[in-house]
């Protein structure tokens, strides 16, 4: 019976909404964002030899330390005499990296050099100081100013629901932001919502397409979440209003989450016949404990901003009336901090669990691929769409 209902639902979806869905090519993050290879490392070493501007002693020490760690592992030489100032400073910098894995040191070295190259490139170009809006996005507004790249979800009349095009554009925007000369990257929403999560019309497809679309959807989801796991710079969510579904679960992959007191946090996965994504099946229990995570992820309890803050998902809550002013003042001050130190500190905090997060992301995406083909999921989507049709 359920199977028949499912087939009817899928047929109804196709007839009820005449949608010409296109399947865009999948995007992949650059190699640098995914982890530096030996080749990337060697080319960064060569790039350093060509650098025209002296990056200063502090940076040179970091480069030295990461080079040694990447090539030889933890510091293995005797401590130089106290009066041998230069060698002692070098030894201290290397020794301070402790047991940092070689791969992480290699990645940090590549990131440091890439930061230096892009800042020296940018100093040779004349760029207007004014807000630089970047063209080419249909569902986002991307701007760069005062060391901050802002990616704004821009479908306010649809509560910034995420279409497949939008997932792709966010990945492109993140890739661009990871390479630009900004210090901090911000994601926010235009209008009253931060985002209402996955656009449920992504499911408006013919029954014979479902299996293939679910397969592609899982790849899209995995790549999308992967971009957040790997994002190399400080990433800030400015949660201007309610957040639903994946726009909530992804927050644990941000470094700061600022929320308006008007924001709510809702993950109605079970109601939709679906399961958690964006690594939340692991990150939420570790953040707030399994009992509180279950309340959100299994039973779909909607949290206020204050509750989300108490559970560690939100960094700080601001009154809505002063939200934008207070948050942007704070971020502008942060964006003046030394760029490379911020990046390296972020990576030191995040690198420990990166590999695990990728594995969890792959598994969650695989499970959702099956869920999307279930009658439970299709019935829930149909309920939403038929409510829409009746309005
Ligand atoms: C084979 C499948 C391939 C899928 C590939 C996807 C790959 C990635 C998947 C990642 C998975 C993520 C899981 C989730 O995010 S689950 C959460 C999904 N979101 C929801 O369930 C929210 C649904 N929306 C609502 O409940 C309500 O709209 C609202 C957000 C509570 C707001 O209610 P309100 O009454 O204030 O406003 P309206 O409902 O009138 O909304 C205004 C218009 O916006 C449209 N809208 C809003 N949100 C969505 C949405 N998520 N999907 C589609 N459309 C949305 C709403 O329909 C109105 O449009 P209209 O004016 O045209 O009627």
What local confidence, expressed as pLDDT, does residue 124 receive? 33
Distance CA 293, CA 247 (A): 16
Does the predicted interface ipTM exceed a cut of 0.90? yes
Ligand 1 in contact with 196 (CB < 6 A)? yes
Asked if residue 254 belongs to a domain, the reply is yes
Ligand 1 in contact with 385 (CB < 6 A)? no
What local confidence, expressed as pLDDT, does residue 379 receive? 94
Answer yes or no: do 99 and 174 share one domain: no
Residues 294/270, Cβ–Cβ less than 8 Å: no
Ligand 1 in contact with 166 (CB < 6 A)? no
Query: Residue 101 maps to which CATH number?
Result: 1.20.80.10
Answer yes or no: do 80 and 165 share one domain: no
pLDDT above 70 coverage of the chain, percent: 83
Going by C-alpha positions, the residue among 340, 337, 342 that lies closest to residue 118 is 340
CA of 158 to the centre of ligand 1 (A): 7
Distance CA 336, CA 9 (A): 54
CA of 290 to the centre of ligand 1 (A): 27
Per the model's pLDDT, the better-predicted residue between 270 and 130 turns out to be 270
Ligand 1 in contact with 227 (CB < 6 A)? no
Ligand 1 in contact with 277 (CB < 6 A)? yes
Ligand 1 in contact with 217 (CB < 6 A)? yes
Ligand 1 in contact with 213 (CB < 6 A)? yes
Asked if residue 2 belongs to a domain, the reply is no
Q: What is the rounded average pLDDT of the residues 260-267?
A: 98
Asked if residue 161 belongs to a domain, the reply is yes
Convert the pLDDT of each residue in 303-334 to its tens digit: 999 999 999 999 999 999 999 999 999 999 99
What local confidence, expressed as pLDDT, does residue 5 receive? 32
Residue 86 CB contacts under 8 Å (≥ 6 apart), including other chains = none
Answer yes or no: do 206 and 94 share one domain: no
Answer yes or no: do 107 and 221 share one domain: no
Cβ-count burial 333-371 (b if 16+ within 10 Å, e if not): ebbeeebbebbbebbeebbeebeebbebbeebbeebbeb
Answer yes or no: do 230 and 330 share one domain: yes
Q: Going by CA atoms, what residue is nearest to atom 52 of ligand 1?
A: 199
Query: Residue 356 maps to which CATH number?
Result: 3.90.226.10
Answer yes or no: do 239 and 351 share one domain: yes
Q: Going by CA atoms, what residue is nearest to atom 8 of ligand 1?
A: 221
Convert the pLDDT of each residue in 335-375 to its tens digit: 999 999 999 999 999 999 999 999 999 999 999 999 999 99
Asked if residue 14 belongs to a domain, the reply is no
Where among 115, 132, 154 does a domain terminate?
115
Answer yes or no: do 243 and 111 share one domain: no
Q: What are the backbone angles phi and psi of residue 200, rounded to the nearest 5°?
A: -70, -15
Ligand 1 in contact with 220 (CB < 6 A)? yes
Quick one: tokens of 42? Answer: 């060697």
Convert the pLDDT of each residue in 39-62 to its tens digit: 888 988 888 877 777 776 667 878
Ligand 1 in contact with 158 (CB < 6 A)? yes
Asked if residue 29 belongs to a domain, the reply is no
Answer yes or no: do 148 and 91 share one domain: no
Q: Going by CA atoms, what residue is nearest to atom 23 of ligand 1?
A: 196
Which residue carries 């892009």 as its tokens? 118
Answer yes or no: do 297 and 220 share one domain: yes
Asked if residue 310 belongs to a domain, the reply is yes
* pLDDT greater than 90 at residue 158: yes
Going by C-alpha positions, the residue among 320, 291, 293, 324 that lies closest to residue 306 is 320
CA of 385 to the centre of ligand 1 (A): 9
* pLDDT greater than 80 at residue 148: yes
Convert the pLDDT of each residue in 98-131 to its tens digit: 888 888 889 888 888 887 776 554 333 333 333 4
Answer yes or no: do 173 and 55 share one domain: no
Neighbours of 157 (CB within 10 A): 8
Answer yes or no: do 192 and 334 share one domain: yes
Asked if residue 23 belongs to a domain, the reply is no
Using DSSP, state whether 91 is helix, strand or coil. Answer: helix
CA of 202 to the centre of ligand 1 (A): 10
CA of 267 to the centre of ligand 1 (A): 12
Ligand 1 in contact with 101 (CB < 6 A)? no
Domain that includes residue 196, residue range: 140-389
**166, 196, 269: which to mutate for ligand 1, most atoms within 8 A of CB?**
196
Convert the pLDDT of each residue in 207-240 to its tens digit: 999 999 999 999 999 999 999 999 999 999 999 9
* pLDDT greater than 70 at residue 27: no
Asked if residue 3 belongs to a domain, the reply is no
Domain count across the chain: 2
Answer yes or no: do 270 and 334 share one domain: yes
């Amino acid at each position: 019976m359920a199977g028949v209902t499912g087939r009817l639902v899928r047929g109804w979806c196709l007839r009820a909404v005449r949608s010409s869905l296109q399947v865009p090519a999948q995007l992949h993050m650059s190699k640098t964002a995914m982890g530096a290879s030996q080749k990337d490392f060697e080319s960064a070493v060569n790039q350093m030899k060509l650098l025209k501007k002296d990056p200063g002693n502090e940076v040179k020490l970091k480069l030295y330390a990461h080079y040694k760690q990447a090539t030889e592992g933890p510091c293995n030489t005797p401590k130089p005499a106290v009066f041998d100032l230069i060698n002692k400073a070098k030894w201290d910098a290397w020794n301070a990296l402790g047991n940092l894995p070689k791969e992480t040191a290699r990645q940090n070295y590549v990131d440091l050099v890439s930061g230096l190259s892009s800042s020296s490139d940018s100093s040779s170009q004349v760029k207007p100081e004014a807000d630089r809006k970047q063209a080419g996005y249909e569902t986002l507004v991307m701007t760069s100013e005062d060391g901050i790249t802002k990616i704004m979800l821009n479908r306010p009349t649809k509560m910034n629901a995420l279409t497949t095009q939008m997932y792709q554009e966010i990945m492109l925007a993140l890739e661009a932001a990871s390479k630009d000369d900004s210090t901090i990257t911000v994601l926010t929403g235009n209008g009253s919502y931060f985002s209402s999560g996955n656009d449920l019309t992504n499911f408006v497809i013919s029954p014979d397409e479902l299996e293939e679309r679910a397969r592609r959807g899982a790849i899209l989801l995995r790549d999308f979440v992967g971009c957040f796991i790997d994002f190399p710079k400080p990433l800030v969510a400015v949660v201007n209003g309610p957040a639903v579904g994946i726009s909530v679960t992804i927050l644990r992959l941000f470094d700061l989450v600022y929320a308006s007191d008007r924001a709510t946090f809702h993950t109605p996965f079970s109601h939709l016949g679906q399961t958690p994504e964006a690594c939340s099946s692991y990150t939420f229990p570790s953040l707030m404990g399994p009992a509180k995570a279950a309340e959100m992820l299994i039973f779909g309890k909607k949290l206020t901003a204050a509750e989300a803050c108490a559970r560690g998902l939100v960094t700080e809550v601001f009154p809505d009336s002063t939200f934008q002013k207070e948050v942007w003042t704070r971020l502008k001050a942060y964006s003046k901090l030394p760029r490379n130190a911020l990046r390296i500190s972020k990576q030191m905090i995040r690198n420990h669990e990166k590999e695990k997060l990728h594995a969890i992301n792959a598994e969650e995406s695989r499970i959702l691929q099956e869920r999307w083909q279930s009658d439970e999921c299709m019935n829930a989507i149909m309920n939403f769409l038929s409510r829409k049709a009746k309005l």
